[in-house]
Amino acid sequence: MKIFFSYVSDDQIDYKVEQIVDFLEFQEDIERVYYWQRDTEGGQKFDDYMRYSINESDLVIVLFTENTRDSIPCIQEIGMAKAFQKKILPVFEDIEDVCANIQISRGVCYTNDFRAFCSDLYFKIAKKEARFKEKSPLMELRKYMHDNFEFNKLGYVEPEFRAISKSNNEEEDQKIDYPLVSYRIFNFILFDPLNKGTLNIVIAKPKSGKSVLLASLKYDILHREQLSNYIPYLIIAKNIDLSKEILDALYDNILPETNDRYVSNLLDNIKSGKEILFIDGLNGSPDPKGLLKKLYDFAHSYNARIIITCVPVICDYIKELSLEKDRYIVSELNTFKPSSLFEWIVLNKNNFDQTRPFSSRKIYSILNKVIKEKEKKGKKVHLPILMQNLSL
């Protein structure tokens, strides 16, 4: 059986759409569940995706919420399901949210007891008891990382990024002024469905914060509730054994001493986009160009989400390997904005190990002196005013 899942994108997290799809696809008689965030192909138009996926499906599940009535895509999907004479199964938390022409008796009420809801949903579909996965060793690893991974997020000032041209014409590149992208936008791009299978490369000079960036991204994934189904792995490039197949080499760094017992679990999660691979310090590998090619092929073959950090020499490797331009993104880690740097130092005035190595020391000494003088007088430090005075 194939199922099409219709829902409003804003409801994806709150109503655990990905977890529902995982549960349904684990059932023996459900071959596939189509849903937009995973199954849309790069550049595919919504109408084409909708028409093909609904026509291929035996059943259409519609998640009805207060957002559904104002969602044109959902209304179109319901109309297309009726046009193809597909059975519609409504899922709802409030019965008032269901469209008037949909049979409520066929539906399932969404509850906070997720396991019970899933059981009811599957019984409504197949008229038999559901089966549930055993605890995933990878999710157990995620829980361990959540409880033990330490990162001073409050003391981290989010950097900016600037795209690097993929043209081989240096004169042409110099004419292009690419805009800066914020840390949060960069984070958003990472989880964009269209970003799956694209190699994300962050370049910067040594000691400029690349490793700290990956640690921050890992912390974000571990502690943001809406990303609770994703697992971040931070791997040092020099520890990847290039004599092995890349999947085996990555596995050895993620779950060592488990004798490949869960390698299929890892690969399934990578294919689904739920595993985020952070490869730190590509230039530290014994064969950085060879590792880059392996990671590029792996990302393309399995739709993997991968971020690599490296010094700018990686751009030379990319040209030498003639990588397809649509399969990778190169971003330069931009130095912190002065305002952000001031903020970081004020918040961490007794520790500036993570600050930039040049101007930061001078700024620190000035700020430290001003702050101490104010503290001796019992005055509060008003950051915006202090920054404004120092920037005059």
* Helix or strand holding residue 278 (H, E): strand 275-280
How far is residue 331's CA from residue 312's CA, in Å, rounded to a whole number?
A: 10
Average pLDDT over residues 160-184: 67
Whether 199 contacts 327, CB under 8 Å = yes
Whether 201 contacts 240, CB under 8 Å = no
The model's confidence at residue 41, banded by pLDDT at 50, 70 and 90, is low
**Nearest residue to 191 via CA among 258, 75, 275:** 275
**Cβ count within 10 A of residue 73:** 15
Whether 343 contacts 154, CB under 8 Å = no
pLDDT at 110 over 80: yes
pLDDT digits (tens, 9 = 90+) for 44-73: 688 888 999 999 999 999 999 999 989 999
**Residue 199, pLDDT score:** 93
Whether 344 contacts 157, CB under 8 Å = yes
Q: Which two tokens stand for residue 58?
A: 């035996």
Among the ranges given (228-237, 266-275, 300-309, 356-365), the one the predictor scored with the smallest mean pLDDT? 356-365
- Angle between helix 210-223 and helix 183-190 axes, rounded to 10 deg: 60
Average pLDDT over residues 311-338: 85
**Nearest residue to 211 via CA among 294, 288, 283, 310:** 310
Tell me 350's DSSP state. T
Q: Give Cβ neighbours of residue 258 (< 8 Å, ≥ 6 apart).
A: 137
**Residue 350, pLDDT score:** 44
Average pLDDT over residues 88-112: 87
Q: What is the pTM for the complete model shown? A: 0.62
The model's confidence at residue 180, banded by pLDDT at 50, 70 and 90, is confident
The model's confidence at residue 203, banded by pLDDT at 50, 70 and 90, is very high
Tell me 355's DSSP state. S
**Residue 363, pLDDT score:** 61
- Residue 167 burial by CB count (10 A; 0-12/13-18/19+): exposed, middle or buried? exposed
pLDDT at 157 over 80: no
In 191-287, where does DSSP find H-type helix?
210-223, 246-254, 263-272
**Residue 355, pLDDT score:** 44
- Residue 219, amino acid: Y
pLDDT at 374 over 80: no
The domains found in the chain, sorted by start residue, are: 2-126 (3.40.50.10140), 139-334 (3.40.50.300), 338-391 (no CATH)
Q: Give Cβ neighbours of residue 154 (< 8 Å, ≥ 6 apart).
A: 347
**Residue 366, pLDDT score:** 67
| More confident: 317 or 368 | 317
| More confident: 366 or 358 | 366
**Residue 325, pLDDT score:** 86
pLDDT at 125 over 50: yes
**Residue 239, pLDDT score:** 97
How far is residue 280's CA from residue 52's CA, in Å, rounded to a whole number?
A: 40
Average predicted confidence (pLDDT) for the chain: 83
Average pLDDT over residues 27-53: 83
- Residue 232, amino acid: P
pLDDT digits (tens, 9 = 90+) for 222-262: 998 778 889 999 999 999 999 999 999 999 999 988 888 88
**Residue 342, pLDDT score:** 53
Average pLDDT over residues 152-173: 70
**Residue 189, pLDDT score:** 79
**Residue 356, pLDDT score:** 44
Q: Please give, one letter per residue, the 3-state secondary structure of 301-333.
A: HHCCEEEEEECCCHHHHHHHHCCCHHHEEEEEE
**Residue 44, pLDDT score:** 67
- Residue 94, amino acid: D
**Cβ count within 10 A of residue 334:** 14
The model's confidence at residue 147, banded by pLDDT at 50, 70 and 90, is very high
**Nearest residue to 283 via CA among 338, 226, 240:** 240
**Terminus-to-terminus CA distance in the chain, angstroms?**
68
> Ranked by mean pLDDT, which of 149-158, 358-367, 380-389 comes out on top?
149-158
What phi, psi does 13 have (nearest 5°)? -75, -50
Q: What share of the chain is helix, strand, coil (3-state, %, to 5)?
A: 50, 15, 35
**Residue 171, pLDDT score:** 52
- The secondary structure of 105-172 as a DSSP string is GG-EE--S-HHHHHHHHHHHHHSS----PPPPHHHHHHHHHHHH----GGGPPP-EEEE----S-HHH
* Helix or strand holding residue 91 (H, E): strand 87-92
Average pLDDT over residues 274-298: 95
